[in-house]
């Protein structure tokens, strides 16, 4: 199981990257850090700078065909930056077009909205995205984790860092099915 973790060069919520990353590794998978630029990504603990992590691949040098699944960590700035990068949005669309599972937590569904892949799906997120998701054609629910199989490719979503255990359990089940 090779899993892409797509993040912007800065702004990812560190725990939303590191906990799913560990879960994939502990399950025997290969997590791959993909970003829009080479070098390192700057993670955050909410609004404070945290650790940096080396980028394995850039979005311009990879495709959905290279992976079995995709994880989109949150943080407010991270998905906001990703949704303005056409290559990142195309990569996300590629996972859905290929019917591969995608997991997104917290603010990460902003990138899914930009990729136009939430229409007709039911998902959860940080509460402030509720209206954005509804306007994009999704049904929003306030649940710890939501697994949606309404279209090609399973979509697993969670609301916030407190949901990480349920999020990781749910996406690993889908990624290894």
Q: How far apart are CA 86 and CA 82, in angstroms?
A: 8
Residue 148 falls in the annotated catalytic set: no
Alpha carbons 54 and 34: distance in angstroms, whole number:
9
Q: Which of these is catalytic: 45, 106, 148, 168? A: 106
DSSP 127-170: GGGHHHHHHTTPEE---SEEEE-SSSS-EEEESSGGGHHHHHHH
41 three-state secondary structure = strand
Sequence-distant (≥ 6) Cβ neighbours of residue 4 within 8 angstroms: 32, 34, 57, 62, 64, 66, 67, 69, 70, 71, 91
Task: Check 46, 107, 148, 168 and give the catalytic one.
Answer: 107
Catalytic residues: 106-107
């Amino acid at each position: 199981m090779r899993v892409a973790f797509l993040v912007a060069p800065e702004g990812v919520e560190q725990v939303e990257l590191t906990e799913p990353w560990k879960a994939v590794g502990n399950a025997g998978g290969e997590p791959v850090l993909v970003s829009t630029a080479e070098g390192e990504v700057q993670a955050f603990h909410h609004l404070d700078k945290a650790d940096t992590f080396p980028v394995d691949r850039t979005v311009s040098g990879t495709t959905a065909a290279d992976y079995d699944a995709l994880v989109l960590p949150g943080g407010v700035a991270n998905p906001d930056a990703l949704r303005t990068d056409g290559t990142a949005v195309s990569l996300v669309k590629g996972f859905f077009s290929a019917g591969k599972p995608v997991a997104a937590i917290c603010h990460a569904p902003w990138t899914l909205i930009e990729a136009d892949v939430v229409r007709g799906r039911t998902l959860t997120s940080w509460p402030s995205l509720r209206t954005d998701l509804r306007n994009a054609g999704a049904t929003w629910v306030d649940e710890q984790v939501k697994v949606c199989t309404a279209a090609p490719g399973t979509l697993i979503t969670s609301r916030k860092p407190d949901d990480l255990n349920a999020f990781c359990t749910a996406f690993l089940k889908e990624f290894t099915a």
